[in-house]
Structures are given as structure tokens and as C-alpha cells.
Amino acid sequence: MQTGTFTEIALDLIEVPTDRARAFVPAAAEALAGLIDAQGLLHPVTLRRVELRGSTARSFVLVAGLHRLRAFGLLGRAAIPAQIVEGLTKDQAREFEVMENLGRNELNALDRAQHLYELRQVYERMHPGSSRPGRRSRGEAKPGAVPEVFGFAAATAARIGLSKRQINHAVKIWEALTQDSRGRLAGTKTAASHNEIKLLSEQPAKRQAQILDMLLSDPAQANTVADALVLIERGCLPNTWEKSYSAAHRMIAALDDMSLDRVVMAHKERLIASLLRQGESLPLKPVKSTARVTGVRRRKS
């Protein structure tokens, strides 16, 4: 790949591919137009030159910078500063686009998952000898295969500052979301939360559609994926008391005996008062027990 000099290119000479890695959000272009009008364009768009037969008006294809391009159009500008890259294949152009978007840290959780998925697709096409974890048994390697340490997640992690675990989780989320869910999520507040899209991706296809119906209705029937799941299962949302009870119940249930004993001792008076309010009778004297309270069994006298 050769990087050319920066120059201004007329907007009507630039073709925008239909299979962009990042969905176009009009509101984002409008906001960006205001910033560009006030500050100027900080990062030129990236284009690749195409050789076309005949006298067609378009001779450049956009590689990266769709929102910047559309922002210039909204401002009524005729041309935009651009970096021209030469010698890019289609896969290399897609890799360039995805890596620039990842590097600019402007992606929400859904966009990041999509970009990492796209990057893996490109990586595997450009490195046909590589293999994904789990495809072969331990110790068995495809002839010429790239070792896992040099695989997609490791190679990408070194370039964009995410851990292998984060990258693999993001790719898994994108693959588990249905195509309909991906489209409906674009531009929503749910798409900005990793935990939200992760929980949604763990649901069957039909359940994903039900949840999104609730989240995206006007007015919204549920504000979170978790609330939507409760609404589907119970027919109503939990009130504040039920939410507090569920949180406390989960926490106490997860405690080991020693930690539970410490909690009981710290809140002994309130716990005794609660038992009395509920009509429970308490022994007048402590009952000796051989149970392991602090991890050491009591000896019999």
C-alpha cells in the first residue's frame, strides 16, 4: 500500500460503497458538521483511486470518513481534504476502514463488536492458513497454520489496545445477535452498553425480537434488557422493594458460611427484631452447636 499526499477532492467524484462497516447515522453527521464549521476538519477522509472505463464522473472510492464526507455535504462544501491511498485490495481497504474507526474511539459497544467481527473476516481472508480456536483438538495443527499466539485476537489486540478476551467476547456478541436485532439496535441507547447487548445476544432469536419490541416501543415498555426479560416472564416489572430484595437475596445466597456469620453478627439486633416481628420464638439461652461456625469444629466436653 502506498500513501499519497493530501489533496482536496470534489464531493461528486467520490463513490461511497454500500457495504460499509459502520452504519451511517444522520444525527452524527449533523453534529459533526457543526464541529467542522467551527474548528475545521481535523482528519481528512481516506480515498482510493479506481480506474474506470469511459468518462464516468466518479473516480475515487471512500475508504474511511463517511460521516465527515456527509458533514461537508450538509455544509454545502464542494470539495473535501482527502488522503489518497494507492494499491489497496478490497480486503485491505476494509481493514483500513475498520482500523481507523477502532483507533478513533468513537464507536459504541455495538459498532465495536461489528468492527471487530469485520476485522476478523478480513484477517481470515488475508491469512488463509490461520485457524480459530476450537476448530482442532489440542496438539493437532493444520499444515501451514498460524499458531494461536499469532492468531486474529492476539494480532488485533496488539494493534488496538484491547485484550484478546475483550475482542473474542465482542465478536461472539455480534455473531449471536440476529441480523434483525443488529439493524434495530443501531443508533439506540441500548447499543451503547456492552452489558445490554451481551445479555440480549444470549437470548434466542424470538426472544431478542420480543425484547427489542419492548425497548423500542413509544413509550418504552422496559428500559433495560433485564427489565424486558422480567416483563416477559412475569407480565409485570418488579417494584423498588422487589429489586432490593432480589439484590440482597443474591448477595446473601452467594456468601460462604464464615462471611455469612460476620454479616449476621454485624446486624444481629436488626435480625432478631425482624424475627420477633414475624412471630418467630427465640431460645432464652444460646443452643450449643457442633456446626462449623468459623471453620473449626467444636470439641465435645
CATH number for the domain that contains residue 79: 3.90.1530.10
In a domain, 154, yes or no: no
Sheet architecture: strand order including 60-64? 2-10, 79-86, 45-49, 60-64, 14-15
In a domain, 65, yes or no: yes
In a domain, 42, yes or no: yes
Domain that holds residue 43: 2-88
What's the pTM?
0.57
In a domain, 241, yes or no: no
In a domain, 81, yes or no: yes
In a domain, 15, yes or no: yes
- Contact at 8 Å (CB) between 192 and 185? no
Domain count, the chain: 1
pLDDT tens, per residue, the chain with 301 residues: 445 567 899 998 898 888 776 667 788 789 889 989 988 888 888 888 876 655 455 588 888 888 899 999 999 999 999 988 877 777 777 777 777 777 666 678 998 898 888 888 887 777 776 555 444 433 444 444 434 334 666 767 666 677 888 888 999 999 999 999 999 998 899 999 999 999 999 999 999 999 999 999 999 999 999 989 988 988 777 677 777 877 888 889 999 999 999 999 999 999 888 888 888 877 756 555 444 544 445 555 4
Q: In the 3-class helix/strand/coil scheme, how is 12-72 assigned residue by residue?
A: HHEECCCCCCCCCCHHHHHHHHHHHHHHCCCCCEEEEECCCCCCCCCCEEEEECHHHHHHH
In a domain, 172, yes or no: no
- Contact at 8 Å (CB) between 47 and 62? yes
In sequence order, the 6+-apart residues with CB closer than 8 A to the CB of 35 are none
In a domain, 204, yes or no: no
